Amino acid sequence: MNLFIKLLGTGISIGAGLVGTKMVNTVWEKSTGRKPPTGKDEDTPTSLRSALTFALISASVSTIIQVLANRGTQRAISRFAKSQDIV
């Protein structure tokens, strides 16, 4: 069951990461009026300042999501361990 909870935590982390990326991209587009800098668009030049700002925001959101997913997984594992001790 521990493996199941770890796999579930990984799945939740990946799903939350995808949602977080979409959220950051949407907020960036709404606030700046431009698409997020991805490095793939050669026809739209991106300044270094906007690329670094986007990278910092994106990395911050990603780190927060990772920490919250890890904490949630650890809580679920500890609850499962306590319930097994009771039974």
Task: Tell me if 30 is assigned to some domain.
Answer: no
Task: Tell me if 64 is assigned to some domain.
Answer: yes
18-22, 72-76, 83-87: range with lowest mean pLDDT: 83-87
pLDDT at 87 over 60: no
pLDDT at 25 over 90: yes
Task: Tell me if 43 is assigned to some domain.
Answer: no
Given pLDDT bands bounded at 50, 70 and 90, which one contains residue 55? very high
Residue closest to 53 by CA, chosen among 71, 37, 70, 34: 37
Residue closest to 46 by CA, chosen among 26, 61, 59, 32: 32
Task: Tell me if 85 is assigned to some domain.
Answer: no
Residues 77, 2: contact at Cβ < 8 Å? yes
pLDDT at 47 over 90: no
pLDDT at 15 over 60: yes
Task: Tell me if 65 is assigned to some domain.
Answer: yes
Task: Tell me if 54 is assigned to some domain.
Answer: yes
Task: Tell me if 60 is assigned to some domain.
Answer: yes
Residues spanned by the domain of 52: 48-74
The pLDDT, as a whole number, for residue 53 is: 93
pLDDT at 45 over 80: no
Q: How far apart are CA 41 and CA 52, in angstroms?
A: 16
Task: Tell me if 4 is assigned to some domain.
Answer: no
- pTM score of the predicted model: 0.74
The pLDDT, as a whole number, for residue 16 is: 86
- In the chain, the number of structural domains is 1
